Structure 1
Amino acid sequence: MAVVHGVGQQYEGERSLQLTIAPALCDGIDHAGGVVPADDDIHVAFYGNLFREEDARGDEEPGEPRSGDNSVEAGLALAWWRAAAHVDPENVQSPDDVTDTRGKTSLTVKAALRALSMSRFATRATQRALLGELRQVRHYLYGDGREAVLEKVCAQIAPDTEVVVGHSLGSVVAYEALCALPGHRVRALITLGSPLGIRNLVFDQLRPAPSMGRGVWPGVGVQWTNICDRHDVVALVEQLSGLFGDGDPAVTDVRPSPGLAEGTEVIRDQTVDNGWRAHDLLRYLRASATGRAVHAGLTS
């Protein structure tokens, strides 16, 4: 199986991530009562180094994006800020209640990052790190980073890969990689803390492009489970059912079930509680819901 990581991994590597990701995923499978695979059966589809800026200054203060067009960062930051204020009101003030010295609402990227850094979503994350994550999303979806990332990840989904797990931006990469590999043999896609459902900024930028409000299904016979923490503001749209395949958006927490016929294009949306690290990859991997979905994909 392959795990596609999310943003913020530009200083890591495949082997270093493997040391933590494989045991965490095995723990999740064990918690679910499944048969635990060997660590070396779990492969990290690594692309983080493609986002490393060799000439970046480490002492830069967080601020507005360096490019002239900051609409993507601003749009995502504001959406995440509003979501964080909704789910974590004790720590995050709503952007509608924030004003500057002139009595005007301050809706800059920097203000959003400052608010997000106080939320349970971004525990221990600096404003600089959050800005870097926004830039990586923009670089992939709107810049020139997509082709190189997809080429690298597609090459790491082997003919014998049965399960693909994608976290955060990695869920977008995993989805697009499967769509770009006709005839792949992957049987299960598990998306964790996914922004795939964010209209306009993410969903409508997917390749292949959605048609009539529905995204393309990522392969014949693929079982898709989407898992999110309700406090994870990256997963702004908790339920992907109704956006892809034939699912009913009114149905929540659909568990893998023998009652669903093989080949049925229905996303099983499920929620978990990751505590104060709502978007944390390792906590997602250790969740029994993730373990059940992986085990189902390996044994179907």
Structure 2
Amino acid sequence: MAELVMVHGIGPQRETEEELHRNWVRTLARTLRDNGHPGQAARLEDGSLTVAMAYYRHLYDRYAPRNEWDMPLPEPVAAAGEDVAEDIADNIRQHASDPAARDEATRALDELHAEVGPEQGPAEVLRMFVAMLGRLGPIARSGFAALSSTGVFHLGQVAAYLEDETVREGAIEAVLSRVTPDTRAVVAHSLGTVVAYEALHRLEQPLPLLLTFGSPLGLRSVIRRRLRPQPLRSPAHVKRWVNVADRDDFIVATLRLRTLFPDDDAVLERTRLVRNRNTDPHAATQYLRHWETVEPLAELL
């Protein structure tokens, strides 16, 4: 019976549903209050505005590393993770705000492609990509790939969703089980935007708002090849879709998501650009601190 359904993205196993729910709600309430909406903030905080977190991170338990060097990913998942890693580096090469970061990503990709040979399997290539990502400034500052196992596991979450039907269907069900006729908005971050996209195509009742941020929708070699349904189009029952991106968010596939959709798609609006803190440009709470992100919710609620 939640009026607002939140869908998380990639992250550590130790981050529980309760922690994610609390952090998102607290940040959202602060942004509403700071921008002249104390009543909505109070409703969020006291629970009179019902909020649910669609939680699916437990589905990755079998892929969680036991130590820094452990990488329990089957070959298809490792190969998909490699595709994700290359796209992330290419995102930095294409739209990082710092020209030095763009040059750094270009050099790293060229060097890596020169090193990769047919004797290496997907797992070893993925390790090489993770090591490369960990040296790139925008990612190194965020801690995304601080350890080999951490980076592999984060990439593995995206890859496992795309390659493991149990994970995929479980995540989609986590969203659909939270969305009811009372739901007024779905708010999704990172991989959660992919889950929400696929889940909401199965929705059978109207949804006033889909709000996405830090989205990898549109990654060329991964999402656009494996996303369901194809070609890209807004879910039929979604009435408004607002997407938000930071050009230094390395997960963001494109700053112009709208251009990947049909010209007559009137649901998805032009992407709103924000500037998150340089130390963690992909964090969900960084996006929720911006009025550009929260304004559509304020209008709706």
TM-score over 0.5 for the pair: yes
Shift of 1:166: 0.6
Moved more, 150-159 or 111-120: 111-120
Q: Is the 8 A contact 2:65 2:153 kept in 1?
A: no
Change beyond 3 A, Cα 1:224–1:94: same
Correspondence 1:93-172 to 2 at 5 A:
93-96=104-107, 99=111, 104-106=114-116, 108-118=125-135, 119-121=137-139, 123-125=142-144, 126=146, 127-144=148-165, 145-172=167-194
Which structure has the highest helix share of the two?
A: 2
Residue 47 (structure 1) aligned with residue 66 (structure 2) = no
Separation in 1, partners of 2:12, 2:143: 15
Change beyond 3 A, Cα 1:99–1:175: closer
Separation in 2, partners of 1:73, 1:222: 33
Shift of 1:221: 5.2
Separation in 2, partners of 1:62, 1:112: 16
Change beyond 3 A, Cα 1:62–1:237: farther
How many residues align? The count is: 274
Correspondence 1:165-184 to 2 at 5 A:
165-183=187-205
Q: Is the 8 A contact 1:226 1:239 kept in 2?
A: no
Residue 267 (structure 1) aligned with residue 269 (structure 2) = yes
TM-score (norm 2): 0.81
Paired residue secondary structure (1:2): strand
Match of 1:233 in 2: 250
Identity value in percent? 29
Residue 81 (structure 1) aligned with residue 99 (structure 2) = no
Equivalent residue letter for 1:79: D
TM-score (norm 1): 0.81
What's the C-alpha RMSD, in Å, of the aligned pairs?
Answer: 2.7
Residues 32-62 of structure 1: per-residue CA shift (max 9 Å, x gap): 43442423333211111111238x5522416
Match of 1:261 in 2: none
Shift of 1:149: 1.2
Paired residue secondary structure (1:274): coil
Q: Is the 8 A contact 1:30 1:291 kept in 2?
A: no
Q: Is the 8 A contact 1:62 1:110 kept in 2?
A: no
Residues 163-214 of structure 1: per-residue CA shift (max 9 Å, x gap): 111100001111111111122x32111111101111241023222221xxxx
Shift of 1:138: 1.3
Q: Is the 8 A contact 2:258 2:268 kept in 1?
A: yes
List runs of 5+ in structure 1 lacking aligned partners: 249-263
Q: Is the 8 A contact 1:12 1:49 kept in 2?
A: no
Match of 1:27 in 2: 30
Match of 1:278 in 2: 281
Change beyond 3 A, Cα 1:71–1:231: same
* Runs of 4+ displaced beyond 6 Å: none
Moved more, 1-10 or 11-20: 11-20
Moved more, 160-169 or 287-296: 287-296
Separation in 1, partners of 2:82, 2:262: 30
Residue 288 (structure 1) aligned with residue 297 (structure 2) = no
Q: Is the 8 A contact 2:87 2:220 kept in 1?
A: no
Separation in 1, partners of 2:62, 2:74: 15
Shift of 1:81: 1.6
